[in-house]
């Protein structure tokens, strides 16, 4: 079975530009979450979507936005890029175990802002 797939794998942008990252969840998973991992740190939660609705948002500026499509795939958009947005962006899809969500991660998109 295919895991979580993210595209592109690498991306180079300049300050002020806009970027769109894409994620396809594992088949049957209806929830997608996005995380930002800055070099040398643990991932930080950005968004979670379930059935196309935003369920939660982390402490990120409004330059960050996301959406989920009817096929449960998702896009993360970042406007007006800053140097500090350089990071590995991870997408996770999840299903609900009888007790809680189990999140499975893709390989990530590495964004470099110059």
Partner 1 sequence: AQSVTQLDSQVPVFEEAPVELRCNYSSSVSVYLFWYVQYPNQGLQLLLKYLSGSTLVKGINGFEAEFNKSQTSFHLRKPSVHISDTAEYFCAVSFSGGYNKLIFGAGTRLAVHP
For the chain, the residue count is 114
Instruction: Report the interface residues with partner 1, using CB under 8 A.
Output: 4, 6, 33, 35, 41-45, 48, 50, 55-56, 58, 90, 92, 94, 97, 99-108
Residue 93 CB, nearest approach to partner 1 (Å): 12
Residue 83 CB, nearest approach to partner 1 (Å): 21
**How many CB atoms within 10 Å of residue 28?**
9
Nearer to partner 1, 16 or 25 (CB): 25
Percent composition of the chain: helix, strand, coil (DSSP 3-state, to 5): 5, 55, 45
């Amino acid at each position: 079975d295919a895991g979580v797939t993210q595209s592109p794998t690498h991306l180079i942008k300049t300050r002020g530009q806009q970027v769109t990252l894409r994620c396809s969840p594992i088949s049957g998973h209806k929830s997608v979450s996005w995380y930002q991992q800055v070099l040398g740190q643990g991932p930080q939660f950005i968004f979670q979507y379930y059935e196309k609705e935003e369920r939660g948002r982390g402490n990120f500026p409004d330059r960050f936005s996301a959406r989920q499509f009817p096929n449960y795939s998702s896009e993360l958009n970042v406007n007006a890029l800053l140097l500090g947005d350089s990071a590995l962006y991870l997408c996770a899809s999840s299903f609900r175990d009888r007790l809680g969500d189990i999140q499975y991660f893709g390989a990530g998109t590495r964004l470099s802002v110059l």
